[in-house]
Amino acid sequence: MSMKLNNLYYPPGGMLIWIIITIELLTFIPGLFVFLYERSQNPTEFAKAAQGLNSLVGTLNTAILLTSGWFMANTITSIRSRNEKAAFRWLSLTIFGGFIFLLIKGIEYYGKSGAETSIQAGGFYTMYWLITGFHYIHVLTGVGILLAMLLELKNKFATEEYLQNIESSSVFWHMCDLIWIFVFPVFYLLK
Amino acid sequence: MQELKLENEFRTNLIVWLLAIALVFTGYALLESKTENLLSAILVISVVKFILIAFYFMEVRHAHIFWKALGLCFAVVFSSGFLIFT
């Protein structure tokens, strides 16, 4: 660990990333509450619209994102054990998992681009596009950050600066998991 | 000693991942089985997954109690809203 973690002013990954996580969760959770409230006002319409989402595909994509999170955790352990090759392998797999998630979600978005399921459709689908789209942008950003870390791995691997940066990047990546853990059941499992 | 600790960390990561994946597919299986208590089950599964990821992958379990409490607060807030609106 780059610093002693049991420190109020230095949570895992650093204070700044936790301020970001707090703001993100305080954005997504009320967004989900608005969706659930709207759903409670129009249960028939929302139940019908929810049938349009494939729960199995959503489940598989969730598993892919969580697997990518596991790869990320192993990346951090490899870096701490000073195993550069293993770190490179795990980090590459993490990014690959992120790409697969984005690809599957992209295909789903393509299938939902018709008039009845677009962002302008109102109700269920407007909220679906806003909330999952916002999450998609986070995953895309996370993949970009991890790609930058992968490119720096060889030159800066053993430095304290790299360890701090990769720990912050890791926490950001897991934040995408955390948000999805709340988003996924609300859209894909409440039928 | 350090190597053993890191080896344990890899093992912990694997166990957490297996549990999280099992919970993801349990949620789907419950949906398909059209169980009566689906909402409660979905909520419990989501909260357990949230805690697993936050406390193990994000290492909140090693953090100051403030960050542990903050993580749990988010789980409680989400659960409350979920129960109120569903």
Please, what's the largest Cα pairwise distance for chain A? 57
CA dist., res. B78 & res. B59, Å (int): 21
Beta carbons of B27 and A59 less than 8 Å apart: yes
Domain hosting B11: range is 2-85
Average pLDDT over residues B58-83: 95
Q: Do A29 and B74 form a contact (C-beta atoms < 8 A)?
A: yes
Confidence band, pLDDT 50/70/90 cuts, at residue A158: confident
Specify burial of residue A93 (Cβ count, 10 A radius: 0-12, 13-18, 19+).
middle
Helix ranges, A42-123 (H): 43-50, 55-80, 84-111
In the prediction, which pLDDT does B61 show? 94
A185 contacts on B by Cβ (under 8 Å): 27, 42-43, 45-46
Beta carbons of B16 and A73 less than 8 Å apart: yes
pLDDT digits (tens, 9 = 90+) for A62-95: 999 999 999 999 999 999 999 999 999 999 999 9
Average pLDDT over residues B28-44: 93
Q: Do A138 and A182 form a contact (C-beta atoms < 8 A)?
A: no
What global pTM score does this model have? 0.94
Out of A6, A178, A190, the one facing B53 most closely (by C-beta) is A178
In the prediction, which pLDDT does B52 show? 98
| ipTM of predicted complex | 0.94
Out of A11, A69, A77, the one facing B6 most closely (by C-beta) is A77
Query: Over chain A, what is the mean pLDDT?
Result: 94
Average pLDDT over residues A93-98: 98
What is the total count of domains within chain B? Answer: 1
Beta carbons of A77 and B25 less than 8 Å apart: no
Asked whether residue B8 carries a pLDDT value surpassing 70, the answer given is yes
Q: Do A86 and A67 form a contact (C-beta atoms < 8 A)?
A: no
For residue B43, the one-letter residue type is: L
All structural domains of chain A, each given as residue ranges with its CATH number in brackets, are: 15-189 (1.20.120.80)
